[in-house]
């Protein structure tokens, strides 16, 4: 069953002058099945983040239709969780880990005892037991992203959208977080759409990788990823993994070179 449906979706940003308009996305058509983990890669500026904003209902398409659970995105916002790239802007520095995770539940008028019960459960899910009374400034970058993930999971959304959530992490922490997320997703099977510049990350986490074209962005390729979950670091060195990574890399390189040479 399709959880997310995009039909003929385009997005144009209009400037102050007639010639200042930018076509960010053009005629996007794809579906995300329930329980899929879809990774999206593409050249810089191709509209990947804009696409997530459209699915979340944070932006409106210029044309086309977006449905989440067969509902217009304006009606499905409560069923969608969003994890932003700049986590320091989304966590409240004056709240503890526990209260940050429980914040959305508080907005939805959950009783204190119930929201703390849920928050404790999700903090445990992401491996942050013992940090409930810490504040964001006392956490590493990876821990802050885990708090952001726990806060989204506490609301039990149908769909989780992730915009470059590991971009600010060091290489080693990023690999560990990817493995942790792979393990967590294999247990929960939430519908996830991840935007990333990292091809290896996209393949390692996704059940499918969508490749976007240079602006105006559209879907140029779709790759089914059949490696079993939870995935281990050794997978990255397998011939099948390396071959797919190279194939996607070459596609993106050709797009970038086309733009540079004025062909796109």
Which CATH number goes with the domain that contains 18?
A: 3.40.50.300
The domain total for the chain is 2
pLDDT tens string 32-43: 999 999 999 999
Q: Do 172 and 116 share a domain, yes or no?
A: no
Domain boundary among 102, 135, 156: 156
**What is the pLDDT confidence band of residue 18, given thresholds at 50, 70 and 90?**
low
Of 156, 173, 199, which residue is a domain's last? 156
Per-residue pLDDT tens digits for 96-136: 999 999 999 999 999 999 999 999 999 999 999 999 999 99
Question: Is the predicted pLDDT of residue 214 greater than 60, yes or no?
Answer: yes
Task: Identify whether 82 is part of a domain.
Answer: no
Average pLDDT over residues 162-174: 89
Cα–Cα distances (Å) from 103 to 100, 110, 116, 148, 155, in that order, read: 5, 10, 10, 11, 10
For residues 59 and 184, membership in a common domain is answered with: yes
If asked whether residues 71 and 177 sit together in one domain, one would say: yes
If you average pLDDT over every residue of the chain, what do you get?
91
Q: Are 223 and 208 in contact (CB under 8 A)?
A: yes
Residue range of the domain that includes 241: 2-76+158-260
Tokens of 127: 């491996």
pLDDT at 215 over 90: no
CB 83 within 8 A of CB 153: no
Residue 89: predicted pLDDT: 81
**Do both 132 and 231 map to the same domain?**
no
Tens of pLDDT, residue by residue over 19-36, are: 678 899 999 999 999 999
> Same structural domain for residues 98 and 110?
yes
Domain boundary among 156, 172, 199: 156
Same domain as 208, residue 172: yes
Query: Chain centroid to CA 71: how far?
Result: 20
């Amino acid at each position: 069953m399709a959880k997310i449906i995009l039909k003929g979706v385009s997005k144009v940003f209009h400037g102050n002058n007639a010639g200042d308009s930018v076509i960010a996305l053009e005629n996007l058509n794809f579906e995300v099945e329930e329980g899929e983990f879809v990774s999206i890669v593409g050249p810089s500026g191709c509209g990947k983040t804009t696409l997530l904003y459209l699915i979340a209902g944070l932006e409106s398409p210029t044309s086309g239709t977006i449905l989440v659970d067969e509902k217009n995105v304006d009606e499905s916002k409560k069923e969608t969780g969003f994890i932003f790239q700049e986590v320091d802007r989304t966590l409240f520095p004056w709240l503890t880990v526990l209260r940050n995770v429980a914040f959305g539940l508080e907005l939805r008028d959950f009783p204190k005892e119930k929201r703390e019960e849920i928050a404790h459960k999700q903090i445990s899910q992401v491996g942050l037991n013992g940090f409930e009374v810490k504040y964001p400034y006392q956490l590493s970058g990876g821990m802050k992203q885990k708090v952001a993930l726990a806060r989204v999971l506490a609301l039990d959304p149908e769909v989780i959208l992730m915009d470059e959530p590991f971009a600010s992490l060091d290489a080693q922490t990023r690999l560990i977080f990817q493995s942790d997320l792979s393990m967590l997703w294999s247990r929960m099977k939430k519908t996830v759409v991840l935007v990333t510049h990292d091809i290896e990350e996209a393949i390692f986490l996704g059940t499918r990788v969508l490749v976007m074209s240079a602006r105006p962005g559209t879907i140029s390729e779709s790759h089914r990823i059949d490696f079993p979950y939870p995935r281990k670091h050794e997978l990255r060195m397998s011939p099948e993994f390396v071959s797919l990574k190279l194939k996607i890399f070459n596609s993106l390189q050709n797009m970038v070179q086309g733009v540079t040479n004025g062909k796109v």
